[in-house]
Amino acid sequence: MTGTSPFLGAAQFGQNAPIYRKKFMNDTQALLEIMEACYEAGGRGIQMIPIGKVGEAAKIMRETHDDYVITGSTTPGPEPLIENLVECEAKIIFAHGMVSDKKDENFIKMIDDIGSRGIIPGVAAHSPVSTLKFAFENTNVKTFLIPFNEKGLFMDNKQQLEQMVDTRKDCYFVGMKTLAAGKLDVEVAYNYLSKHNICAVAIGMVTTEEAKRSTKVALNALKNKCE
C-alpha cells in the first residue's frame, strides 16, 4: 500500500524531504497520481497520517474504488487526529511511534480509545524491540507497523527484531521503511521481507513509475503471506 512519509517530508529523506513535502503535502492531484499508480499495480490501500491534503486524497480513492482500504496513524502532537481517521473510515488506526515508544499510560489510553470506536487498534513503533515487548505484555494489540529492511536501518537490533516478528505467528506485522529511505534496491528489499513474518508493507513513493514497480515487486514477494 501507499506510504505517506515522503508526502509529509519525513526526516529520513534528508535533503529531499522539503522537496517532497512541497510537491505533495498540500496538492491533492499530485497525491492522487501516486495513489492511482499504486492501485493500478495492485496496491489496494494507504497507510496515512491525516495531514495536509492526504486525508482528502485518500477519501477520493475510497469513494472511487470499492476495494480501497484506508489505514492510518495518529499524529504525535497534543491532537492525535483520531476523529479525522474515523471520518476517513480507517480500518486500522495505529498509535504513532512517538506515542507508542513512550510506553506509558497515555499510550494505553489511546489504544483503548481506538478500540472503543469499533476500529482495530495498532501499534506503530520507531524503537520496535522495546515497544513490541511492552505491547505484547500490556495490551491485546495484534497489529504492528514497524521498520523492517535488509540493511537493519531504524530497526534497533535487527536480529532481535527478526526473531520477535518470526516467532509471533499470532500477530500481523506491517513493514515500513522497507526500502531504507531509498537506500535499497526494490528486488533486494522485498526478497528479504519475503523470508520473514511480514504480511503487508507501506511503501514511500514519489513517482508513478516508482509506485508501479515497487508495488508489483512487493506484491509478488509477499503473496500468500497472510493466508
- Domain regions of the chain by residue span: 2-222
Please give the share of the chain, as a percent, with pLDDT higher than 70. Answer: 98
The burial of 78, by beta-carbon neighbours within 10 Å (0-12 exposed, 13-18 middle, 19 or more buried), is given as exposed
How many alpha carbons fall within 13 Å on the CB side of residue 69? 10
The rounded mean pLDDT for the chain is 95
Examine the pLDDT at 12 and tell me if it is beyond 90: no
Give the integer Cα–Cα distance in Å for 50 and 83. Answer: 10
**pLDDT mean over 184-205:** 95
Secondary structure E strands in the chain: 2-3, 45-48, 69-73, 92-95, 120-124, 143-147, 172-176, 200-201, 203-204
Binning pLDDT at 50, 70 and 90, where does residue 182 land? Answer: confident
Binning pLDDT at 50, 70 and 90, where does residue 223 land? Answer: confident
pLDDT single digits (tens) 34-59: 999 999 999 999 999 999 999 999 99
What are the φ and ψ backbone dihedral angles of 7, each rounded to 5 degrees?
Answer: -60, -30
Give the integer Cα–Cα distance in Å for 163 and 45. Answer: 28
Q: Strand, coil or helix: what is 155?
A: coil
| Nearest C-alpha neighbor of 61 from the set 77, 41, 76, 46 | 46
pLDDT single digits (tens) 122-151: 999 999 999 999 999 999 999 999 999 999
pLDDT at site 195: 95
pLDDT at site 72: 97
Examine the pLDDT at 153 and tell me if it is beyond 90: yes
Looking at residue 171, the DSSP 8-state letter turns out to be S
What are the φ and ψ backbone dihedral angles of 169, each rounded to 5 degrees?
Answer: -70, -10
State the angle between helix axes of 28-40 and 17-24 in degrees (0 to 180), rounded to the nearest 10: 100
How many residues would you count in the chain? Answer: 227
Cβ contacts of 124 within 8 Å, gap of 6 or more: 73, 94, 95, 96, 97, 100, 144, 145, 146, 176
pLDDT single digits (tens) 58-77: 999 999 999 999 999 999 88
CATH of domain 2-222: 3.20.20.70
Q: pTM score, two decimals?
A: 0.95
pLDDT at site 225: 57
pLDDT at site 87: 96
Examine the pLDDT at 226 and tell me if it is beyond 80: no
Examine the pLDDT at 190 and tell me if it is beyond 60: yes
Q: Which residue has the cell 495518529?
A: 74
Examine the pLDDT at 118 and tell me if it is beyond 80: yes
Examine the pLDDT at 224 and tell me if it is beyond 80: no
